[in-house]
Amino acid sequence: MSMRSRYAWKTSSHRIPRRLLLKVAAVPVAGVAGGSVFGVLRSQAARYALPGTFIGSVDISGLSMTEANALVAAQWQDYLHSPVVFGYEEATWTPTATEIGLIVEIEEAIRAAFARERRRMWYWFSGLSARNQVDLPIFLNSTVALDFLNAIAQQIDRSPENSTLERQTNRVRVVPGADGKQLDREATLRLMKLPSDPPQRQMVNLPVVTLVPPITVQMAEETKSVFDTLVAQGLRFELAGDGWEVPGSTLTPWLQIHQDPEEGRLAIMGDPKLLQEWLDQVSVEATRPPTNARFTVRDEAVHLQEPAAQGYQTDSDVLLATAQAAIEQGITALYLPAQVREPMYTAQNMHNWGFENVIAEGVSLFAGSPVERAHNIAHAASKLHGYVIPPGETFSFLNVLGPITRDDGYQSSLIIFGDQTVPGVGGGVCQVSTTMFRAAFWAGLPIIERNQHSYRVGYYERDGSPPGFDAAVYDPGVDLKFVNDSEHPILIQTHVDEESMELKFVFHGRSLNRWVRMLPAVAKNWVEHGPPLPDKEDPDLPLGERLQIEWAVDGVDAEIHREVVIDGKSHVDRFRSRYRPWRERWLVGTKIVPPEEQPGQVPQLPG
């Protein structure tokens, strides 16, 4: 508190204190002559307060320092014992001034008052009134006050309790939390006022703040609702008409309660491992390359056969994050996040590639094939018809053809399996791969993979082709591959003539700017086939019926040479085959059946 002096310039109305006058009278006359009465009075003013001297509201005129100190202290005694009462609810706290760091400098104020007396003596002796007012210095040590408030806070403060969920098999139960409370120390300090004079005890209602827990009952109820929704409805992703779903009964064991009090988060999450296993399967099924349109060349014009379709690419991390976010929010059906991949060849640009032009052809005959083999040939050829080979692509016969199974429309016919000819699904597909190999051969395209048959198959030499001009395939592992090394796409067209039993592959597109010819074929190291093998009994054939399953052919080492000229530069490709000699063999039936149930048999050639 500031100190100030106020002077009233007027004729003094104060009477000189009696004890001060007695002391002046005792001064010898010689002393008065030598130093004057003023000097004596000035000396006494250092020991006694002159009239008009106040410490705050207390008049200490004529008192010594000790007397003044006692008088002022008596006025402040009760206040300093209990300057403030803190109250909260039914509790009260009554600290002393010392306990809260309240300091009243009484002695300091008195010393200041007496220090002024000598200067003020002149005004008083001259008959002028001068009030000596000294205010009490009062301070509050906030550090000490906070220490006391912290002690009170230990009795008031209570940490909030989070609400949570308790798992009970296939359901959850809300466990309510509770609000906390905390004494606002800084606000309390601001409420504490320095005392006036005369002092009066202060009443302070303690400001207590309600602490809401990070996770409230409402949050817990909302999270419980999310859990109940997921259990009831499960989780479903959808993409382009396809859907992948986890029923609620399956999803429930995957659900976990995740609680993070620091972030104030209570959520339902999916078990990352179990969720990822399911999403990996979804990703495999949802990820697909874009499908180019397929085209048909008819009357020297290009027509749309099948429209193009967008492809999709999924990301494992994005799928998991999306699924977790959906589970947390209780969203049970959503679109599968995937990057769209656009097809390159569509109905909109089908006239841009020169598909009206013929690049090369490959032809083979399948006369004598049974119905099942002829069906498989036509069926496999249809799966390749209209396919576009982009520039730079390595064409895989098996990849484009797809599975060779009954479910995919193939029938059973004779196939070469290892060192024998046996009935198998897809017999005749090698006729298709052989014919396509011939088209790629005449187009001058690099052949990356070509496999021979175990022995020479009669179908592939009926049109006068030399031994070795075939290409065997078997799913899985035995494939036909070649590269479109040009700068333009190539359109595949297949034609099956059921009357002439001719299969033709035609490659369409812009000119490949190359010249191709077959050099004279080489056939050497001939090995005779030998006598027929013993008949083999077949319990599925009617008794006494015979069915030929192996045809006698000589073995030979064959080479097909192809010369390709590009930009004036020539190179020769060699395709080598070593065919084993093959002996004739028949099946003989042992099954007894009524005559009316005996079917006629048509000899079948394999492949």
* Helix%, strand%, coil% for the chain, nearest 5: 30, 35, 35
pLDDT of the residue at 129? 55
Q: How far apart are CA 397 and CA 377, in angstroms?
A: 14
Give me the percent of the chain exceeding a pLDDT of 70: 87
Structure tokens at 243: 């859907």
**27-31, 193-197, 222-226, 258-262: which has the highest mean pLDDT?**
222-226
pLDDT surpassing 50 at residue 3: no
Query: What pLDDT was estimated at residue 544?
Result: 85
State the Cα–Cα distance between residues 251 and 333, nearest whole angstrom: 13
pLDDT in tens, 248-305: 999 999 999 999 988 889 999 999 999 999 999 999 999 999 999 999 999 989 999 9
Mean pLDDT value across the chain: 88
Handedness of CA 225, 229, 235, 239 (dihedral sign): negative
Burial class (CB in 10 A: 0-12, 13-18, 19+), 461: middle
Q: Is the pLDDT of residue 109 over 50?
A: yes
From residue 246, alpha-carbon distances to 250, 283, 327 in Å are 6, 14, 12
Q: Judging by DSSP bridges, how do beta strands 6-11 and 128-134 pair with one another? A: antiparallel
Name the band, by pLDDT with cuts 50, 70 and 90, for residue 33: very low
pLDDT of residue 25: 42
Please report which confidence band the pLDDT of residue 195 belongs to, taking 50, 70 and 90 as the band edges: very high
pTM equals 0.62
pLDDT score of 531: 92
Q: Average the pLDDT over 481-499 and give the result.
A: 96
On the question of pLDDT at 190 being above 90, the answer is yes
The predicted pLDDT at position 515 comes to: 96
Pairing of strands 536-542, 585-591: parallel
pLDDT (tens digit per residue) in 311-367: 999 999 999 999 999 999 999 999 999 999 999 999 999 999 999 999 999 999 999
Torsion angle, CA of 588/590/594/600, rounded to 10 degrees? Answer: -20
Helices (H) and strands (E) in the chain, counts: 13, 37
The pLDDT value recorded for residue 31 is: 39
CA distance linking residue 258 with residue 264, whole number of Å: 11
Say if residues 234 and 275 touch (Cβ distance below 8 Å).
no
pLDDT at residue 131, as a whole number: 80
Beta strands 294-298 and 180-183, pairing class = unpaired
| pLDDT (0 to 100) of residue 417 | 66
Domains of the chain: 6-150 (no CATH), 158-217 (no CATH), 223-341 (3.10.20.800), 358-597 (no CATH)
Does 5 have pLDDT greater than 50?
no
Return the structure tokens found at 114: 């007496």
pLDDT confidence of residue 476: 85
Report which of 580, 527, 524, 582 is spatially closest to residue 553, judged by C-alpha positions: 582
Residue range 535-592, pLDDT digits in tens: 988 898 899 889 888 888 899 999 999 999 999 999 999 999 999 998 888 889 999 8
Say which residues have a Cβ less than 8 Å from residue 314's Cβ, sequence separation at least 6. Answer: 282, 283, 286, 287, 336, 337, 338, 339
| Poorest-pLDDT segment among 48-52, 118-122, 407-411 | 118-122
Q: Confidence band (pLDDT; 50, 70, 90) for 128?
A: low
- For residues 365 and 458, give the distance between their C-alpha atoms in angstroms, rounded to a whole number: 10
The whole-number pLDDT of residue 366 equals 94
**292 three-class SS:** coil
Chain centre distance of CA 156: 44
CA distance 180 to 156: 10
